[in-house]
Amino acid sequence: MKSLSKIILLISIFLISINANSQEKLSSYYKVTTKGSVNDIKAKLKTKLKEKGYTYLGGYNPEGKANMYVLTFTNKNLYGIALYGKTHKAIAAVMKFGILKKANVVTISLLNPEYIFYAYLRNTTSSYDKLKNISDEVHAILKSMGDNYSAFGGELSKKDLKKYHYMMGMPYFTDPVELNEMESFETACSTIEKNLKAGKGGTSKVYRMKFAKSKIAIYGVALKSKKEGEAYFLPTIGEDHIAAMPYEIIVIDKKVLMLHGKYRLALHWPELTMGQFMKIVSTPGYIEDTMEALTK
């Protein structure tokens, strides 16, 4: 009888520990502060990423402003996990630093990789220990770039991230927008690249990750329209979150997909109030129309 009681106790402790872990909250962003020019800091970050075995994908100035810059990067261990299963969760393979200079202070921000891993990969992977190591390495790079390391931007539990939606009736990660279905993977990629090169709809290519054998390609797209693009919605919902950008589209075989704006924006601005959201109520539709146009 005592043995049975011990077993029940051990099972209870195990279940409690699993529940506690699932309730652990993850901050959406981290930052440090430093001084210097945006270009110098950008160069230092690129050097550190290369030294640590990360691949720089591309970067740009959100809103076209010289005091802002976003760097995107990845590594093979990450995309080996994210691409498994050939779904839009492959977007988790892209990580991002933001640089924002105000007066003489430069803030370097990181879209917390672990936050994105739980939101995008959810229960489709058993590699969270490996992913935590990747996230910790990137955080170490951030810490080495300045002082006052701290979290900001809001937080969500691992459990909530896996099933995240802004509110009742809003889309989930599992509700991507299908922008188009093309004749082939190569046709989809060539069409998107031709349109990005032409700047269709006020866009430009920030990066491309293309895996021809897997027939998966991810594009980071700058939204340059002064009227409806980044220059419109970022100042309204928060430029401190520039590491949320650029917006992605993904090609999987013949299909071109994107995360729904009502999911993607809310996830990256978890403290967004309904009042703020209503000020950019047209933005999700604008992004979808712009991305769809890139497929035609």
What count of other Cβ atoms lies within 10 Å of the Cβ of residue 58?
18
Distance from the Cα of residue 132 to its chain's centroid? 16
For 109, the 3-state DSSP assignment is strand
Q: What is the pLDDT of residue 203?
A: 98
CA angle 168, 174, 177 (to 5 degrees): 95
- Among residues 268, 282, 273, the alpha carbon closest in space to that of 111 is found at 268
Q: Please tell me the total number of residues recorded for the chain in this structure.
A: 296
For 58, the 3-state DSSP assignment is strand
**HSE value, Cβ hemisphere, 13 Å, CA-based, for 39:** 1
Query: Cα separation of 213 and 232, whole Å?
Result: 38
- For domain 26-162+173-293, the CATH architecture is 2-Layer Sandwich (3.30)
Query: Cα separation of 33 and 125, whole Å?
Result: 34
The amino acid sitting at 87 is T
Query: Cα separation of 35 and 218, whole Å?
Result: 33
What is the torsion angle, in degrees rounded to the nearest 10, for the CA atoms of residue 73, residue 79, residue 82 and residue 88?
70
- Among residues 142, 94, 133, 144, the alpha carbon closest in space to that of 247 is found at 94
Query: Cα separation of 157 and 137, whole Å?
Result: 21
Q: Cis bond leading into 246, ω under 30°?
A: yes
In sequence order, what E strands does 158-237 have? 177-181, 203-211, 216-223
Distance from the Cα of residue 295 to its chain's centroid? 22
Distance from the Cα of residue 251 to its chain's centroid? 16
Q: What is the pLDDT of residue 169?
A: 84
Q: What is the pLDDT of residue 3?
A: 55
Q: What is the pLDDT along the chain (296 residues), one digit of tens a residue?
A: 555 545 444 444 444 444 445 469 999 999 999 999 999 999 999 999 999 999 999 999 999 999 999 999 999 999 999 999 999 999 999 999 999 999 999 999 999 999 999 999 999 999 999 999 999 999 999 999 999 999 999 999 999 999 999 988 899 999 999 999 999 999 999 999 999 999 999 999 999 999 999 999 999 999 999 999 999 999 999 999 999 999 999 999 999 999 999 999 999 999 999 999 899 999 999 999 999 999 99
Report CA-CA distances (Å) from 124 to 29, 57, 73, 113: 23, 25, 22, 16
191 close to 295: Cβ distance less than 8 angstroms: yes
